[in-house]
Structure 1
């Protein structure tokens, strides 16, 4: 067989275990609570109508690479801290492209990038594409806060960036002002940038208020904030994300953005811009998953899991040890095959998979009927005796 040349960086990209799990759970019989693909909230009907209208009206060619200016103006108006839509906002092909563009624009081969784990595995892939070296800082249940000493020890002369996610995927932890202040002080000392994934900012609970990296004065000039309509407006397939940064960083990121994709889909940007023009608070944060969060927590707690209710986002992390002696990946595959319920093993969210062997992630951005169905299946399920914990 011919051996074709393949770049070494490809071997460093994260291999999503979720795809293998999905193949196991393919079919209508499985209730999927593993992926973050939104079943709730519902996609706004007006957004679909405006997209169809834009397509029929001929908005089918290139948009300027920076993104639809009216959409950028509406995004700017929805932000807590003002941003210049012309020099500080860029529409991207989803949050994933924004992440890769931000890392590629700021990290050279051999540079170190601090990440908090458990983490969204695409963070590792973005770092690998840039030739960077990840420096994980572990956080722990139940509050999922980092150890200040461990964070300080992770910084050094090669540190170029810190990648954050708040509210966090998978833990749901929201960074607090004191945590931001400590991160800001370290970034100033070591001249590092912050790349902050904030796509779950619209979902916060218990009266909390989301704090953006851009809301922290010290980080405003050295922060790159990533947002998206995927989860908040249930249009993950549209790939409409955005990136906010100071003009100097925006200029650098836009060069990568243009080289990689040239711009996001014109009619879909137009649709979002029109919907935002018709409904002033269309792009404002929307906290509408309280019921689902509480329902998912009750269902899995009743099934014997120890749940850690999140501050924000659309995931619940749960400890499997009260009900099972097996690892989380074995449990996840068993639940798919025997109970028809799919969850994400915690092993998928750690650089050392063993660290997540006792955790699962449950996606609750679903219709309540879907969560109720999962609850009924779990309540009726009786696992084999050898898998049950004696604790």
Structure 2
């Protein structure tokens, strides 16, 4: 099922395999090289065969109930359907929630390294970015630094669980310490949990909203099928709004302000959540094996990394190598392999690069070989 080759991948029109020349192996953008579940293909093909391109609300209406059922089955999370809202993307959900709870100049905290559109969303909205570095040894939150960084005008903290780019899963103990500061400082949490299904067997995903009633009413949880089933192009996201006033404010907005996924995006997402369970387990086995391979290959090199607990991303530290200054640029030019530059994830990450290992093992072997050759 997953015997991929570069010819097939280059024939796909997505960004990953078309951005760079043919002699470059891509491991940058967070798309998998695996085909999405056959149920997704069948659902989309049926729409095309029947020329069903008109208004179509059934798939969109059922998305919330499908997501609620999915997170209950995957993570034991119980949430109410009437507290959920559909968005076009996770960043749109984040931006709407942020605009509903803050004003210009208010502080929005995040933990770096961080998925770079988070920081852009804060700055584009005219909010003040409060950058709190994670501990570099284990990518845990420095609770004292977190507490000391929050001033009286900081209203929101953006959270990513599991964490992109490090692959860290925050434990119940870590979440409890985090929660205490959130309550103490009267913060709203926007928790991006779109990587929740891609745990690698080390420990499960712990939904932040399950950390207690104090957190449930302070947390907005964002979910999507995009990372789980390789459906970034579906443009479909859902948020659980635990904060009653923000839920009320969002419901008061004109309906078209929020947008919605296309009929195709809704159909793809619905098919994945209905029928993607077996595909996901098979895919995770490949990702787990790839994770072990990447970690083992770099273990005895000058490249440092923490073994990912989730995602299909390796956060590589090149500070002890000869290419410590902008390693991704050097690897692209000299090694013909494209990694995501660490500088995108925060000012402290210039010696890092992110490697996507969700690909065929033979392709991954060549990617890693090209990286190691350059250090």
Which of the five TM-score ranges fits, normalised by the shorter chain? 0.7 to 0.9
Alignment match of 1:318 (pick from 302, 316, 338): 316
Q: Which residue of 2 aligns with 1:291?
A: 289
Change (3 A) 1:319 1:23: same
Change (3 A) 1:188 1:130: same
Q: CA deviation at 1:77?
A: 1.0
SS at match of 1:308: coil
Alignment match of 1:39 (pick from 33, 39, 44): 33
- Taking the TM superposition and a 5 Å limit, the aligned residue runs for 1:237-316 are 237-246=233-242, 247-254=244-251, 258-277=255-274, 287-288=284-285, 289-301=287-299, 304-316=302-314
1:304-326: CA deviation from partner (whole Å, max 9, x where unpaired): 41222122122111221332154
Q: CA deviation at 1:372?
A: 1.7
Alignment match of 1:68 (pick from 45, 60, 72): 60
- Separation (CA, whole Å) in 2 of partners of 1:283 and 1:254: 33
Aligned residues: 353
1:180-232: CA deviation from partner (whole Å, max 9, x where unpaired): 22222222233221000111111112430111112122211110011111111
Contact 1:167 1:174 in 2 (8 A): yes
- Separation (CA, whole Å) in 1 of partners of 2:44 and 2:17: 32
Residues 1:100 and 2:95 are matched in the alignment: yes
Change (3 A) 1:279 1:179: closer
- Separation (CA, whole Å) in 2 of partners of 1:138 and 1:63: 43
- Separation (CA, whole Å) in 2 of partners of 1:259 and 1:104: 16
Q: CA deviation at 1:24?
A: 12
Change (3 A) 1:177 1:278: closer
Q: Which residue of 2 aligns with 1:220?
A: 216
**Pairwise CA RMSD:** 2.9
Q: Which residue of 2 aligns with 1:174?
A: 169
Structure 1: gaps (5+ residues): 1-21
Residues 1:338 and 2:366 are matched in the alignment: no
Q: Which residue of 2 aligns with 1:83?
A: 79
Q: Which residue of 2 aligns with 1:49?
A: 42
Contact 1:336 1:342 in 2 (8 A): yes
1:259-303: CA deviation from partner (whole Å, max 9, x where unpaired): 545211123213432454456778999744201211222334465
Contact 2:84 2:240 in 1 (8 A): yes
SS at match of 1:224: strand
